[in-house]
Structures are given as structure tokens and as C-alpha cells.
Amino acid sequence: MPQVTGRQGTLTPERILETTEEVLRRYGPAKATVVDVARALDVSHGSVYRHFRTKAALREAVTQRWLDRTSARLETVVAAEQPAPERLRRWLAGLFDAKRHKAGDDPELFATYMVLIGEASDVVDRHIRDLTEQLTDIIEDGIRDGDFAPPPEDAATTARAVFDATARFHDPAYAAQWQLPSIHEEFAAVSALLLRGLRR
């Protein structure tokens, strides 16, 4: 594929995705077009389509990138040299913190991504799968080290149960509640209950 350059240098998928996010913030998902993205990059819209074959593919990719930021941040917790209960507590807190900041720091962009997520169920499914696999790794470590009791089902099923039990603190459907004064106390209570349930 021949390289295309615009005002800011060589056109890459990463540059296209960064610019798409800026365009979405400016125009919103209903009005933002591939032409708007190309214009912001100072290239033809055909150059954008060389990297992303359709508008839907571009919107899926930018949504995946947005969600992957959270997964990457939490992966550092999974890999930390700490006992599994402490990593699980940090992981749950990290997920809540990441989602809460996305909703509170840039509400217009958050609303935009809620629209895109509604269009990209496969992307959301992959994100949830990534997160529950991280939880599974932590729980398996805890079982191996004797910190968690072996569950009646497998670790993956337990991980999904933990994920579902904490949905109020990471599912965007509950975003309006994340600014309540009591939310941190409620999160701490739910996390402590789950950790007590997992321990031997």
C-alpha cells in the first residue's frame, strides 16, 4: 500500500483513529462523516478507506480503541506482583475508576461512544471477554496460591459472576449513579463482600 501523507506526516491507522475521535467530539456520531475525517487529515476520503474499508469499520475500530484503553490499564494490575485478593480489589477499583472518569471527564464524548457501542455489539462482546479473562487470571492465581477457595464451578464462571455482580460500577447504563456521594462507600461494601465470599 503506498504511503499517503497529509499536513501532519504519513497517514497511519492510529492517526486516522485519533482524528476520528476528534471529529466525533466535534460533530457527534450522527453528523460525523469519513469526509470530515479526511478533511481534518488533509487527505482524500479514499485514503482513509484504504485503511478502513467502510464507515462502519472505522467506527468499530475507534470504539475498540476507546475500550482497549481500559483493558490495557487493568492488565498492569493483573500482572502486578501482589497477592490475588489485593489485585482483585485493585482491578475492580480500577475498572470503576476508568469508567467513572470516562463518563465524568468528557460527557459529550462518552455519550458519543454510547451511541457507537450500541452499533458495535461484537466490539463490546470482545471487550467484556477481555475483562473477564483478566478476572479469570487473578482468580486462578488466588486458587493456586490458597487465597481463594476452589469454586464449585470453574474460575471463568466465577469471574463472570464477579463481573456481573459489580455491573453497577462499570456498566454505562448506571453512569448517572456514579457521581452520587455514597457511590464509593457502596462500591467498597460490594467489593469487600465479594472478596469475603471468594476467600477460604
Going along 25-119, which residue ranges are E strands? none
CATH code for the domain of 180: 1.10.357.10
Looking at residue 143, its amino acid is: I
Q: What angle do CA 145, 80, 162 make, to 5 degrees?
A: 65
Is the same domain home to 188 and 143?
Answer: yes
Is the same domain home to 13 and 29?
Answer: yes
Is the same domain home to 162 and 91?
Answer: yes
Contacts of 110 (CB under 8 A, 6+ apart): 102, 103, 172, 175
Nearest in space to 114 (alpha carbons), one of 28, 7, 22 = 28
Q: Which of 50-54, 117-121, 126-130 has the lowest mean pLDDT?
A: 117-121
Nearest in space to 72 (alpha carbons), one of 46, 95, 50, 49 = 95
Is the same domain home to 10 and 94?
Answer: no
Per-residue pLDDT reduced to its tens digit, 61-80 = 988 898 999 999 999 999 99
For residue 111, give its domain range. 57-198
Region 144-155: mean pLDDT is 93
Q: What local confidence, expressed as pLDDT, does residue 115 receive?
A: 86
**CA 6 from chain center: how many Å?**
30
Domain boundary among 14, 36, 53: 53
Question: 6 — phi, psi (to 5°)?
Answer: -125, -160
Q: Which of 2-11, 33-42, 86-95, 178-187 has the lowest mean pLDDT?
A: 2-11
Is the same domain home to 35 and 70?
Answer: no
Is residue 3 very low, low, confident or very high in pLDDT (cuts 50, 70, 90)?
Answer: low
Is the same domain home to 13 and 77?
Answer: no
The DSSP bridge pattern shows strands 9-10 and 5-6 to be antiparallel
Q: What is the number of domains present in the chain? A: 2
Is the same domain home to 82 and 116?
Answer: yes
Q: What local confidence, expressed as pLDDT, does residue 1 receive?
A: 46
- The three cell numbers of residue 115 are 451511541
Is the same domain home to 35 and 65?
Answer: no
Is the same domain home to 98 and 28?
Answer: no
Question: What is the rounded average pLDDT for all residues in the chain?
Answer: 91
User: Residue 6's beta-bridge partner residues?
Assistant: 9
- Whether 52 shows a pLDDT value over 90: the answer reads yes
Q: Read off the pTM.
A: 0.85
Region 122-127: mean pLDDT is 90
- In the chain, what percentage of residues exceed pLDDT 90? 72
Is the same domain home to 168 and 132?
Answer: yes
Nearest in space to 61 (alpha carbons), one of 32, 53, 72 = 53
Q: What local confidence, expressed as pLDDT, does residue 112 receive?
A: 84
Is the same domain home to 98 and 23?
Answer: no
